[in-house]
């Protein structure tokens, strides 16, 4: 792909990029950042700056794990897409078909609507809740929808928890095992942990503010954000998605096709996006993008792919207050055609 060749040719040296990242890190008073860049299916940069623990002064490395929050939803969506391809699910299947215990108002909600945040299922029931099983079904069944399914848009963690439940019922596996077998292992994400209840995987200490102690417990968000990983492994995930390793190229393009309303929030890039199946579909400086962001109890993360240019960026920090846009801009300026650098 010619754009990818141009991107490599215009890229700055790793030392120049490292210095720019370090300067931005100091400006924002962020403890640590880890980044990766993919061009035409090859990882061309992996870098890390700062510390994973302020108190200990432990350096961040390219092997340091971070929480990635809602980027984990894309793994749930990918497993659903695989099951659709295998004929075990359809995007038009309803909650009533797979989780009849939910019933009532939500019985007719489709998997497509859950994936696109168009289901009307409330976002969360209270901060920190990650109910599964009968407790979840009761909460959903008794709740009032945010809108009639298919008739609006509202971000819903609960919707992806329900999708995780559907995956478990169809595969006969725990969601963690399904994601490990179907995503993590085929993509070669050897340093990624699918968090289960009671897990506390080794990772960078997370910080919710410039001052104050780090958060050391990782919340489990079943289906909606239960991955701890590295920038390098997320780059491997991106390469597996674009190469057809996890979904056929046609099926992946379908997930990246707008299927919902235009929304004014999402990626930390300032642009409007349109909702695909889980993924945000947008445009930056005339370049088509797909991506997702994630923020969870002291971590902040983004994966952004420039579909037609064959260029992808991953940025992970252990500071929920961090502004990821300047870090993305550094990478775009070096690797994205027409962005300077």
Give the pLDDT confidence of 57-96 residue by residue, as tens digits: 999 999 999 999 889 999 999 999 999 999 999 999 999 9
Residue 316 banded pLDDT, cuts 50, 70, 90:
very high
The Cα 204–Cα 229 span in angstroms is 10
Between 227 and 278, whose confidence is greater? 227
Least confident of 117-121, 229-233, 311-315: 117-121
Q: Determine the pLDDT at residue 254.
A: 83
Range in 28-32, 35-39, 148-152 the model is least confident about: 148-152
Distance from the first to the final alpha carbon of the chain: 20
CA distances from 276 to 183, 212, 255, 257, 286 (A): 20, 38, 6, 5, 19
Q: What is the 8-class DSSP label of residue 306?
A: E
Closest C-alpha to 259, from 241, 274, 242, 249? 274
Q: What are phi and psi of 141, to 5 degrees?
A: -60, -35
Domains of the chain: 2-68+196-214+225-335 (3.40.710.10), 76-175 (1.20.58)
Band of the pLDDT at 162, cuts 50, 70, 90?
very high
Q: Is the pLDDT of residue 21 over 80?
A: yes
Ordered alpha helix ranges (H), the chain: 2-10, 14-28, 72-85, 95-98, 111-115, 133-142, 157-171, 175-179, 231-243, 249-255, 325-335
d(CA 167, CA 245): 19
The answer to whether residues 228 and 195 touch, using CB atoms and an 8 Å cutoff, is: yes
Per-residue pLDDT at 131: 65
Q: 95-99, 248-252, 330-334: which range is least confident on average?
A: 248-252
């Amino acid at each position: 792909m010619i754009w990818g060749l141009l991107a490599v040719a215009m890229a700055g040296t790793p030392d120049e990029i490292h210095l720019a990242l370090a300067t931005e890190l100091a400006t924002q008073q962020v403890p640590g950042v880890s980044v990766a860049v993919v061009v035409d299916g090859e990882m061309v940069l992996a870098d890390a700056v700062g510390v994973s623990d302020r108190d200990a002064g432990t350096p961040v490395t390219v092997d340091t794990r971070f929480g990635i929050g809602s980027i984990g939803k894309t793994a749930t969506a990918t497993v659903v897409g695989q099951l659709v391809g295998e004929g075990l699910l359809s995007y038009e299947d309803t909650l009533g078909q797979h989780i009849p215990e939910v019933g009532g108002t939500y019985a007719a909600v489709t998997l497509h609507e859950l994936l696109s945040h168009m289901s009307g299922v409330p976002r969360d029931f209270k901060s920190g809740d990650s109910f599964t099983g009968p407790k979840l079904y009761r909460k959903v069944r008794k709740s009032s929808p945010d809108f009639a399914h298919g008739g609006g848009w509202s971000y819903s963690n609960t919707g992806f928890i329900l999708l995780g439940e559907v995956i478990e019922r169809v595969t006969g596996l725990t969601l963690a095992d399904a994601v490990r077998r179907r995503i993590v292992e085929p993509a070669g994400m050897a340093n990624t942990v699918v968090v289960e209840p009671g897990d506390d995987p080794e990772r960078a200490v997370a910080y919710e503010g410039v001052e104050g102690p780090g958060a050391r417990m990782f919340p489990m968000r079943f289906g909606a954000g239960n991955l701890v990983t590295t920038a390098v492994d997320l780059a491997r995930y991106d390469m597996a998605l674009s190469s057809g390793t996890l979904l056929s190229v046609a099926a992946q393009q379908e997930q990246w096709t707008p299927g919902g309303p235009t929304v004014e929030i999402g990626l930390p890039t300032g642009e409007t996006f349109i909702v695909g199946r889980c993924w945000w579909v947008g445009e930056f400086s005339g370049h088509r993008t797909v991506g997702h962001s994630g923020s969870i109890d002291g971590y902040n993360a983004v994966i952004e792919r420039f579909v037609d240019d064959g260029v992808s960026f991953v940025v992970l920090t252990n500071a929920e207050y961090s502004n990821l846009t300047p870090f993305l801009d550094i990478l775009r300026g070096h690797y994205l055609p027409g962005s300077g650098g």
